[in-house]
Structure 1
């Protein structure tokens, strides 16, 4: 019996360490690092609830796509049949003097733009956006960080065109996240 007890303790300890290791590994792979996503309906599973669409030339269209999606039941598709700057945005309450990261996945088909922005994730009212993607591409993760400065509300989301650029083509967006990173570096 004396030999059995230390062995049970050893097995239990090893099992506990394994569980902690797996939990730690899962948490490390989590894109938000445990921080809450500030967007609602960020995977477009509830249609476009919480989102507002606009385009400058009235040649853009936003719709759900249940055929082309990265995860879940749907993605958002923006199509600019003619040159346009189309933006699906969500107004989110944020803290002033705080850093944030907007991330998500973008897939494109036949996106063409003459200079400027093609398919991005963007912050309205400024020049902050993810890298711009054009042409035809499979799903790829994009992100960018911004400082809220004095803002208490940020309007963020998928954009096709922008900053005086008129893009043509189709872009899909899925699995967006907006997370708080910490205090501004410019306090």
Structure 2
């Protein structure tokens, strides 16, 4: 279970860093955002097992292709929320920051990102819950996690192992959804 959790959280964190960089760059550039969103959408619609299979010749079996694939799946969800959050900052707030002498980066880190944080956290929550589910498929490429229990159960025709793997995956996803929903509420209350 810990391996599944580490794989899922690591993938979302990597995806979040990539999506933040792309999202910050694309927030004020509509054409670039359309291109980035199209690429992220194409990656997202590729079935997970197919994407993992495409990565095997490039990086082999194990955690590496699983991490790359899962991070790629997060991009669409995270990118949309980041750009929507940054674009949702009121123009008068941005004007006030400019009037106070904030530079572009100061304004981004002190005004825009904090105001966009609830949407970014919401995207991270959805991405993590989705990734926890998709990470079970990583067992097919020796990526480990709870999918391994399910695969062993299928190989041995042992229903209890299949159920344990499935139930643990569901409980993990539900638990993190509840935890991050609570964190979102606290953050929105803070604002």
When normalised by structure 1's length, the TM-score is: 0.22
Q: Which has the higher strand share?
A: 1
The structure with the largest alpha-carbon Rg is 1
Q: Which has the higher helix share?
A: 2
When normalised by structure 2's length, the TM-score is: 0.22
